[in-house]
Amino acid sequence: MRADNYPPINVLSVFKGFEKKELRYLVTPYRFSNQQGDTYHISEIRHFHRDRQGHGIQFHYVVNTKEGQLFRILFETNTFTWRLIEEVKPM
């Protein structure tokens, strides 16, 4: 997946430096803002996986927000950027 095809977002996240049961993931996102200025607070990480892309790793998340929306976001270690992949619309 070419991450630069998707819009960048600003993400408040925690990088785990040592094992702690409250931090389940190596990189844990807590909230993000898009370029339009909308801010979303993450209430749950529904799915996570990572894969190798070039010399780096991509961390893929599907998150629920406190606002009741579902998003796919991506963290890429090659460029150290977060991207908004998709906003999942409810059926």
Residue 75 CA to residue 82 CA, distance in Å, equals: 4
- Tell me if 40 sits within 8 A of 57, measured CB to CB: no
74 exposed, middle or buried (CB, 10 Å; 0-12, 13-18, 19+)?
buried
Residue 91 has pLDDT above 60, yes or no: no
- State which residues form the domain around 10: 3-88
Write out pLDDT tens, residues 16-69.
Answer: 999 988 889 999 999 999 999 999 999 999 999 999 988 999 999 999 999 899
The HSE-up count of residue 1 (CA atoms within 13 Å, CB side) is 16
Number of domains in the chain: 1
- Vertex 28: Cα angle to 63 and 57 (nearest 5): 95
Tell me, what's the pLDDT at 71? Answer: 97
d(CA 37, CA 9) in angstroms, rounded, equals 10
